[in-house]
Structure 1
Amino acid sequence: MVGDVPVGGPEPVVMAGPCSVEDEEQMVSTAKAVKAAGARVLRGGAFKPRTSPYSFRGMGLDGLKLLNTAKQETGLPIITEVMTPGDVDTVAQYSDVLQVGARNMQNYNLLDAVGETRMPVMVKRGLAASYEEWLLAAEYVLAGGNNNVMLCERGIRSFESMTRFTMDVAAIPVIKRLSHLPIIGDPSHSTGHWYLVTPVALSVIAAGAHGLLIEVHPNPDLAKCDGPQSLTFENFSNLMNQVRAVKGALAGEPVGA
């Protein structure tokens, strides 16, 4: 459970919001827009691991406070990344799901620390991690006594350069066969291009994912982080309509129902 939202049931849970928290207007407007379209959880990064040390690395505590403001405005629970064991207690005060990012999947001290919280934790797959390595990373959280764990397939590094990463759609049914843990798909990070997010998201839902993690921004061209892969409010609303259509088709509902 994430607040009152069940993750892992028959209905896919969409978690949406900007890559990084930038200001109050951005967060509140995005939270209202994604909620209106059907998202159940608000995402936003306050602490950002970046390849370049000169890129925008998040607002830190101020960003967490803005996430809380958006939560108070909309009632949406929050998922945000925690990067170090020393930040776990602080991030836990402002969030409902602690996200362990791909670059920290094998940060075992961090996994131990989030395992002690008993809070919902999302463990993203590492850039070149096998299924076994990924599941064993989640096992660190479980071994700490925290059973509230979900996994996130966010694309793996391959030889292809046209997309940011390569979405391993097969990971969805494989993980469902190997594990009882909910599995979420992140088509934003895997593709790196907004126009690929919707078709890849639909493939992930068709493969049986329990939810999606989608980047949404009021003005992607001005985003401080990951603008090219962020959906506008309108595009996100269209995505949600198509997700519902795919789920309906899988359930055998008549077209247009």
Structure 2
Amino acid sequence: MKLESILLPGVDPTRPLVIAGPCSAETEEQVMETAKELAADGIKIMRAGIWKPRTKPGGFEGIGSEGLQWLKRVKQETGMYVSTEVATQKHVYEALKYGVDLLWIGARTTANPFAVQEIAEALQGVDIPVLVKNPVNPDLELWIGALERLSNVGLTRIGAIHRGFSSFDKKIYRNLPQWHIPIELKRRYPDLPIICDPSHIGGKRDLIQPLSQQAMDLGFEGLIIETHCNPDCAWSDAAQQVTPPRLKEILANLVIRDGNKQTTEDLTALRRQIDELDDQLLELIAKRMRISQEIGTFKKEHGMTIVQTDRYDEILSKRIAQATEMKMNPEFMRVILEAIHEESVRVQLDILNK
């Protein structure tokens, strides 16, 4: 992908990019009140959902094109840039007609290659920043595919938004961060700007501060945070929106680390230890897999089934208990053990089927 800056003129390139505003544009008064508060606090880019894809029919699905007139007024009266989500070719044409400065593609749309291609073709020849949220499911290739579709029609001002991934097993987050996925995206495309959407990851306003800090610690280029003049009365996603004063506090308390600082000798030594330990881990895992192969051969010769559930349960419970005693995260250990077990089963099935 050929990439250029997504920054708009007048936006400070030395600070994290911040996009803020309500989940949905509800009324002209709500949009203007929120915009004026944000502008007074120095926010340069306002967001507002004009069209809202809802999980089920019957909910508020956005005010529609009428709200674009309100965003145009925001630009005229505050000097802010304005941004919104687009999901169809018609949305693109409408947003451009009213002078929207930045567009993003939502998670549900990213999951649909036909829809992304339609949007890309509608944007061909347009010089505007376009951000792509990760798809609902944790599929890095699908995310990259959406970015490539935009690049293939000549767009260069492209960025990504990490908004977390849906999971049937809900825990503290609305959408699981799975930070390793955007980190891998950045590894493959080092020049690709990635900003974080802590509102959709957390689903609760109390989680926005810590998630924003984590994103900064991981080197994300910015944040998109849902901000509403009266969030408790919001027509959509009320629980995850903050007030402009609270947003100001969140941003003021962020610790921004310099990722370009020269690595110290102490850090180099610690990293060398990590490398040595990783080598040892790989050797141990390889040895374990060789033993799994021997077990697979034994089971084949004696007509035994591959999976012995009692044994697996014993390993899980014992090792997780040991990890807990060693002050390790038991859920982390569960994930590691399940991955090792899955690979062991695969190895033994290969032997059985030879």
Partner in structure 2 of residue 217 of structure 1: 228
Counterparts in 2 of 1:141-160, with a 5 A limit?
Answer: 141-158=150-167, 159-160=169-170
Shift of 1:173: 3.3
Match of 2:34 among 25, 30, 36: 30
Shift of 1:176: 2.3
Percent pairwise identity: 35
Partner in structure 1 of residue 148 of structure 2: 139
Shift of 1:178: 1.2
Q: What is the aligned residue count? A: 249
- Please give the alpha-carbon distance, in whole angstroms, between the structure 2 residues aligned to 1:33 and 1:249: 30
Is 1:112 paired with 2:121? yes
Which secondary structure does the structure 2 equivalent of 1:247 belong to?
coil
Distance 1:6 1:38, change over 3 A: closer
Distance 1:192 1:221, change over 3 A: same
CA deviation string 1:198-250 (max 9, x = no partner): 1101111111111100001111111001110000122111111012xx11676
Assess if the C-alpha contact under 8 Å between 1:18 and 1:230 holds in 2. Answer: yes
Shift of 1:38: 3.4
- Please give the alpha-carbon distance, in whole angstroms, between the structure 2 residues aligned to 1:126 and 1:200: 19
- Please give the alpha-carbon distance, in whole angstroms, between the structure 2 residues aligned to 1:55 and 1:40: 30
Unpaired segments ≥5 residues, structure 2: 1-5, 262-354
Which secondary structure does the structure 2 equivalent of 1:150 belong to?
strand
CA deviation string 1:102-150 (max 9, x = no partner): 1101323223323443321111111114222211210000000111111
Partner in structure 2 of residue 255 of structure 1: none
Counterpart residue identity of residue 207, structure 2: L
- Please give the alpha-carbon distance, in whole angstroms, between the structure 1 residues aligned to 2:182 and 2:147: 15
Shift of 1:19: 0.4
Partner in structure 2 of residue 53 of structure 1: 57
Assess if the C-alpha contact under 8 Å between 1:46 and 1:59 holds in 2. Answer: yes
- Please give the alpha-carbon distance, in whole angstroms, between the structure 2 residues aligned to 1:133 and 1:26: 36
Larger Rg: 2
Distance 1:206 1:54, change over 3 A: same
Assess if the C-alpha contact under 8 Å between 1:37 and 1:236 holds in 2. Answer: no
Unpaired segments ≥5 residues, structure 1: 253-257
Distance 1:194 1:123, change over 3 A: same
**TM-score between both structures, scaled by the size of structure 2:** 0.66
Is 1:173 paired with 2:178? no
CA deviation string 1:84-115 (max 9, x = no partner): 11221111123111211111013232233234
- Asked which structure has the greater RCO (Cα within 8 Å, sep 6+), the reply is 1
Runs (4 or more) in structure 1 with deviation over 6 Å come to: 249-252
- Please give the alpha-carbon distance, in whole angstroms, between the structure 2 residues aligned to 1:4 and 1:118: 13
Is 1:205 paired with 2:205? no
Counterpart residue identity of residue 148, structure 1: R
Which secondary structure does the structure 2 equivalent of 1:123 belong to?
strand
**TM-score between both structures, scaled by the size of structure 1:** 0.90
Counterpart residue identity of residue 175, structure 2: F
Whose helix fraction is larger, Structure 1's or Structure 2's? 2
Root-mean-square deviation (CA, aligned residues, Å) is: 2.0
